[in-house]
Structure 1
Amino acid sequence: MSSSWSFAVARDDLEQTTVVEKELPEPAGGEVLLRVDRVGLTANNVTYAVLGDAMRYWEFFPPEPRGLAPQWGLPPVWGFADVVASTVPEVVVGQRVYGYLPPAGHLVVRPERVDGQGFRDASEHRAGLPSPYNAYRATSGDPVYRADEEDLLTLFRPLFFTSFMLADQIIDNDWYGASALVFSSASSKTAYAAAAELAGRGPRLVGLTSAGNVEFTRSLGCYDDVVPYAEINELAVESVVYLDLSGDPGTRAAMRARLGDRLVRDIAVGLTTQTPNMEAAGEVFFAPVQMRKRREDWGRDGLDQRFAEAWRRFADIAGARLEVRTGKGPEGLRHAWLEVLGGRTPPRAGHVIEM
């Protein structure tokens, strides 16, 4: 193949998309060329675009080297890629890695800290960006990896990492002294993954969701109660930590009106409604911060072991309920993007794109 392609969205209008082709890059000294093979697309990726400027997500994969004007952005995705050319002896052609990828056919990286677990991309433009997003995990040295679970990992692993760290932070802070945790967007993958990790270990877990998703959310078995948004005024709890995964201003206002000083913590976690509303929350959860703390507490291997154990528990829950919708190439990516952006993907479904 002598050319590669990139899928981009207009930064000021996420419904506008384009695909450009460009000559396939040759890795320079110290660089490796990855062929992006399989990625997932969920509401999490839309959040990266909504917060692209505020959280610097647009900076991971700059548009200009790919032949795009600055008004376009490449929303990051997660998935698997294969090494197809390498000038780094420790990174061999054929190695398969999991990590943060562009919605594109290829990616050039500059590996550093190479070991049996993978490497980090030390490309200059990524030096000041959050380091967890720069790690590429070799499947051969990954305790979580199973070849027959690639779709599950593609869709859930980045979400589950956020969920795992969120649950850990809550436990680490003694549940903030609350008698209940209330999740908005409770049918979302990030929400119910966190709830599954917390279930039965402390206060009540209450899921808020749309009327159409109540049955599905209850079927998950990880919430003690599931409440439609329209019934927020009937919440009967003594003290609450509100975990906001929707970002909806109306839901936040209703929670505050209902609970008053019984709302002991208001934590923004995500934006399934695509409404930037994090500044209205009491605080914002950012998984890499808790991850750094736990690496200091437990060490890298200790964190990996705990994550792997939690993943195995969750994989049994998620795998039984997941409906994979597979697309191919740029058109499959565009279709999935518009479906997720438009809120047309049911909670049990997930889009995987074979690039």
Structure 2
Amino acid sequence: MADSWTFAVARDDLARTTLADGAAPALADGEVLLRVDRVGLTANNVTYAVLGEAMRYWEFFPPEPRGLDRRWGLPPLWGFAEVVASTVSGVEPGVRVYGYLPPAGHLVVRPERVDGTGFRDASPHRAGLPSPYNSYRSTTGDPAYRAEQEDLLILFRPLFFTSFMLADQVVDNDWYGAESLVLSSASSKTAYAAAFELHGRGHRLIGLTSPGNLAFTRSLGCYDDVLAYDDIAALDVVPTVYLDLSGAPAHRAALRAHLGDRLVRDIAVGLTRQTPNADAAEEVFFAPVQMRKRSRDWGRDGLDARFADAWQRFSQVVSGWLDVRTGAGPEALRDAWLDVLAGRTPPRVGHVVQL
């Protein structure tokens, strides 16, 4: 490869991809160059692409500076990067950070709010985008970081943060007065991490999944019951909250028909299929909103401490639920993208790519 490279997908056909070579970017004053090192690829990243226009995910890493036009998009990834050049005091070469990264060899950031925990990217094109995605955490100042858990952090941290905030919002709203909580796509990482947080708190948790994932989902032990989608009619007709992670219209229609006015909340939480579900749901969960509320309630340090405690509890068990599939290089990233996009990745498998 050349000094740098970029992986991109066609915005109108996510299965059409390209790998573009290029030179490593030059720095201006106030900028830092990150070398993208190790990233994960899950259904969450496909969600970013499906909702790229609606939720502005395409805007984090615009294609034009990389020699591509706007027909292409760079699906954001989560992972680790290393500072390789810096013009900013306090952000030194060799620092390793966790954060939102492009599917590319390098990223130029403009750090602000630099402290022992990391920094925030103040690049002008990111100024109006949700701030949690602009934070880069130094491994030396992150209470959740453990070197031996890097792959778990890569695959689960963004999902678990969503799950942690989702569970917190449910509890914060006293379960919306419901007796049962139903999660679709129950075998997905975001769903079962939320269920892990909520399990044993006095309300019934029911997972919905495909027949092929029933055994795996039941084996997790974080749901009180797991049903196939065809068995929605077996649900008890009690006040119920639906957390929709699948985006499948047929599942929502069956649930509404069966529960009627006992469906007290219908909340879209991302999607694991390529069907945007926000318009069909009554409301949409967006983790940064609950995060901002809890930052006010608890302070940043308080939120960090609660998240780190929850993560350590979860990380003790999730390693037994996961097989990490590791690849190397941009071609492996493309292969992993196509596998996840096509739904070929079993729920036990997580893709990590060393770049």
Which TM class, normalised by the smaller chain length?
over 0.9
Query: What amino acid maps onto 2:193 in structure 1?
Result: A
Aligned partners of 2:237 and 2:258 also within 8 Å: no
Q: What residue in structure 2 maps to residue 99 of structure 1?
A: 99
Q: Give the Å deviation of 1:329.
A: 1.2
Aligned partners of 1:179 and 1:237 also within 8 Å: no
Aligned partners of 1:120 and 1:135 also within 8 Å: yes
Q: Give the Å deviation of 1:6.
A: 0.4
Q: What residue in structure 2 maps to residue 200 of structure 1?
A: 200
Structure 2 counterparts to residues 81-160 of structure 1, below 5 A: 81-160=81-160
2:166 maps to 1:161: no
- Identity of counterpart residues, as a percentage? 75
Q: Over residues 256-294 of structure 1, what are the superposed CA-to-partner deviations in whole Å (9 max), with x where a residue is unaligned?
A: 011000000000002111101211100000000000000
Aligned partners of 1:9 and 1:17 also within 8 Å: yes
Q: Counterparts of 1:90 and 1:223 in 2: how far apart (Å)?
A: 45
| SS of residue paired to 1:6 | strand
Q: Give the Å deviation of 1:233.
A: 1.0
Q: Counterparts of 1:236 and 1:174 in 2: how far apart (Å)?
A: 20
Q: What residue in structure 1 maps to residue 298 of structure 2?
A: 298
Report the TM-score when normalising by structure 1.
0.99
Q: Counterparts of 2:64 and 2:199 in 1: how far apart (Å)?
A: 46
Aligned partners of 2:2 and 2:21 also within 8 Å: no
The runs of at least 4 consecutive aligned structure 1 residues that moved more than 4 Å come to none
Q: Counterparts of 2:290 and 2:77 in 1: how far apart (Å)?
A: 22
Q: Over residues 47-89 of structure 1, what are the superposed CA-to-partner deviations in whole Å (9 max), with x where a residue is unaligned?
A: 0000000000000000000000110000000000000000002
Aligned partners of 1:180 and 1:237 also within 8 Å: no
Q: What residue in structure 1 maps to residue 311 of structure 2?
A: 311
Report the TM-score when normalising by structure 2.
0.99
Q: What residue in structure 1 maps to residue 249 of structure 2?
A: 249
Q: Give the Å deviation of 1:202.
A: 2.7
Q: Counterparts of 1:112 and 1:9 in 2: how far apart (Å)?
A: 30
Q: Over residues 142-184 of structure 1, what are the superposed CA-to-partner deviations in whole Å (9 max), with x where a residue is unaligned?
A: 0110111100000000000000000000000000000000000
Q: Over residues 302-346 of structure 1, what are the superposed CA-to-partner deviations in whole Å (9 max), with x where a residue is unaligned?
A: 000000000011101211121000111111001000000000101
Structure 2 counterparts to residues 1-355 of structure 1, below 5 A: 3-355=3-355
Q: Counterparts of 2:124 and 2:278 in 1: how far apart (Å)?
A: 30
Q: Counterparts of 1:237 and 1:310 in 2: how far apart (Å)?
A: 32
Query: What amino acid maps onto 2:215 in structure 1?
Result: E
Query: What amino acid maps onto 2:41 in structure 1?
Result: L
Q: Counterparts of 2:141 and 2:156 in 1: how far apart (Å)?
A: 19
RMSD: 0.8
Q: Give the Å deviation of 1:27.
A: 1.4
Q: Counterparts of 2:195 and 2:228 in 1: how far apart (Å)?
A: 17
Corresponding pairs, count: 355
Aligned partners of 1:63 and 1:73 also within 8 Å: yes
Q: Counterparts of 1:162 and 1:92 in 2: how far apart (Å)?
A: 30
| SS of residue paired to 1:280 | coil
Query: What amino acid maps onto 1:266 in structure 2?
Result: D
